[in-house]
Amino acid sequence: MTSGPVYLDAASSEPLHPAAREVLLAALDQGYADPRRLHRAGRSARLLLDNARAVVAEALDVRPDEVTFTSSGTQAVHLGLLGLHQGARDGTITHTAVEHSAVLHAAAFAGGGRELPVDRLGRVEVAAPPAGTSVLAVQAANHEVGTTQPVTELAAVAGGVPLFVDACASAGRLPLPEGWSVAAASAHKWGGPAGVGLLLVRKGARWRPPFPADERIDERAPGFENVPSALAAAAALQAVVNERDEVGARQRALVDEVRRAVATIPNVDVVGDPVDRLPHLVTFSCLYIDGEALVTELDRLGYAVASGSACTASTLTPSHVLAAMGALTHGNVRLSLPREATHEQVAAFLAVLPDTVTRLRGEVGH
């Protein structure tokens, strides 16, 4: 067992970045007022909000007026995708088979979507979208297996169909791809505070509000702006982008080590593209084991990981991402490294994994 819990689930939520913590504490005393008000406290809050928008814009290479803060990445996905669909006025949302459930739920809300298949690595084919497509939804990188998608290439053959890009898993870790009309991101994925999302709407995009409007500073998103958290999210994003090359290279090397070691365990399938992927994430599936049991046992041993499998007694539903790839859906583990993960932590995890898999298989007669 480890001397203390080792957190290896950064793809769900990255620990708060030191830059975000420092800014958040300072902004709590300055950003409490309504940024629409003309009094001194309101003007101070507006200045902080505008500063946060400018920092995000510089980090992501977009315009400040293309940045909207939302209450979550999920809200940004719903607003972004449905707003493009609303702007198209007719047609059907087309999305890849491995999109996040937020995209699938939005497509269902809009009357249902068309699904594009992916290959065994989880990547969609570069081809023009089907006739009658209102919006093409394609993620920048997959949240379960890390595979990046050919967003720029798809935009080149889209024939005027706007692209919605879910960048929640990749923003900050990888540059935004070219060619999108609207994109979404989530601050807690890069070390910002939870409860902050980003809606990015390109100038000139055919986006229309899909829900009732609100009289806020930015009319694209409803609700009172969380100014301190927005500023902290911007600070974390700026820091993550500045350290991206160094942290990404270190994480990629550690993940390569995990992929090599896990592949030596019998009846284990390492999934996703080994090269064109998120630098910090790796997923593998173990035959003859329930994913929840494996995650629970690893947690008991001091390692916090996730499972893409939802094969529980209550749902009996496997991961739609793994199923679309034709991958093993049982005994699934997603390991995602936080920025401060060390070689020693990864080595210790790899030391306990084989025996854990063997022991759990033995308990079910394999």
The token pair at 361 is: 């298989």
Contact between residue 217 and residue 208 where contact means Cβ atoms under 8 Å apart:
no
Same domain, 171 and 256: no
The token pair at 141 is: 């990188």
Q: What is the DSSP letter of 72?
A: -
Q: Is residue 200 part of a domain?
A: yes
Helices assigned H by DSSP within the chain: 18-27, 40-60, 73-88, 101-109, 151-156, 227-242, 244-262, 291-300, 320-325, 343-363
Alpha-carbon distance of 137 to 183, in angstroms, equals 10
Find the mean pLDDT for residues 48-64: 97
Which of 26, 126, 301, 311 is catalytic? The answer is 311
Residue 245 CA to its chain's centroid (Å) = 19
Range in 20-24, 100-104, 304-308 the model is least confident about: 304-308
Among 214, 242, 270, where does a domain finish?
Answer: 242
Q: The domain spanning residue 359 has which CATH number?
A: 3.90.1150.10
Q: How does pLDDT run across 104-135, given as a tens digit for each residue?
A: 999 999 999 999 999 999 999 999 999 999 99
The token pair at 195 is: 């409860």
pLDDT band at 309 (very low <50, low <70, confident <90, very high): low
Q: Is residue 1 part of a domain?
A: no
Q: Is residue 279 part of a domain?
A: yes
Residue 310's pLDDT is what?
Answer: 43
Among 181, 213, 242, where does a domain finish?
Answer: 242
pLDDT band at 3 (very low <50, low <70, confident <90, very high): low
pLDDT band at 313 (very low <50, low <70, confident <90, very high): very low
Classify burial at 365, counting beta carbons within 10 Å of its beta carbon; exposed 0-12, middle 13-18, buried 19 or more. exposed
Alpha-carbon distance of 352 to 366, in angstroms, equals 19
pLDDT over threshold 80, residue 2: no
Q: How does pLDDT run across 71-85, given as a tens digit for each residue?
A: 999 999 999 999 999
Same domain, 174 and 109: yes
pLDDT over threshold 50, residue 314: no
Same domain, 152 and 263: no
Q: What is the mean pLDDT of the chain?
A: 94
Q: pLDDT exceeding 70 applies to what percent of the chain?
A: 96
Residue 312's pLDDT is what?
Answer: 40
Same domain, 146 and 165: yes
Residue 311's pLDDT is what?
Answer: 40
Amino acid at position 323, single letter: A
Of 199, 207, 160, give the one whose Cα is nearest residue 179: 160
Same domain, 250 and 235: no
Q: The domain spanning residue 157 has which CATH number?
A: 3.40.640.10
Strand stretches in 107-240, DSSP E: 113-116, 133-137, 163-166, 182-186, 197-201
Alpha-carbon distance of 52 to 47, in angstroms, equals 9
| Domain count along the chain | 2
Q: What is the dihedral of CA 340, 345, 346, 351, to 10 degrees?
A: -170
Alpha-carbon distance of 184 to 164, in angstroms, equals 8
Same domain, 164 and 257: no
Same domain, 158 and 252: no
Domain carrying residue 36: 18-242
Same domain, 332 and 190: no
The β-bridge relationship of strands 268-271 and 332-336 is unpaired
Same domain, 48 and 10: no
Alpha-carbon distance of 36 to 46, in angstroms, equals 7
Give 195's Cβ-side CA count (13 Å radius): 11
Q: Is residue 319 part of a domain?
A: yes
Same domain, 315 and 329: yes
Classify burial at 175, counting beta carbons within 10 Å of its beta carbon; exposed 0-12, middle 13-18, buried 19 or more. middle
What residues have CB less than 8 Å from 218, skipping those under 6 apart?
68, 69, 225
Contact between residue 119 and residue 100 where contact means Cβ atoms under 8 Å apart:
no
How far from 292 is each of 16, 101, 117, 280, CA to CA, in Å? 26, 19, 27, 22
* Active-site residue, 311 included: yes
Q: Is residue 229 part of a domain?
A: yes
Residue 219's pLDDT is what?
Answer: 87
Q: Is residue 176 part of a domain?
A: yes
Alpha-carbon distance of 279 to 365, in angstroms, equals 36
Among 242, 268, 295, where does a domain finish?
Answer: 242
Q: How does pLDDT run across 217-262, given as a tens digit for each residue?
A: 788 999 999 999 999 999 999 999 999 999 999 999 999 999 999 9
Q: Is residue 276 part of a domain?
A: yes
Same domain, 200 and 297: no
Same domain, 219 and 143: yes
Of 124, 102, 105, 208, give the one whose Cα is nearest residue 162: 208
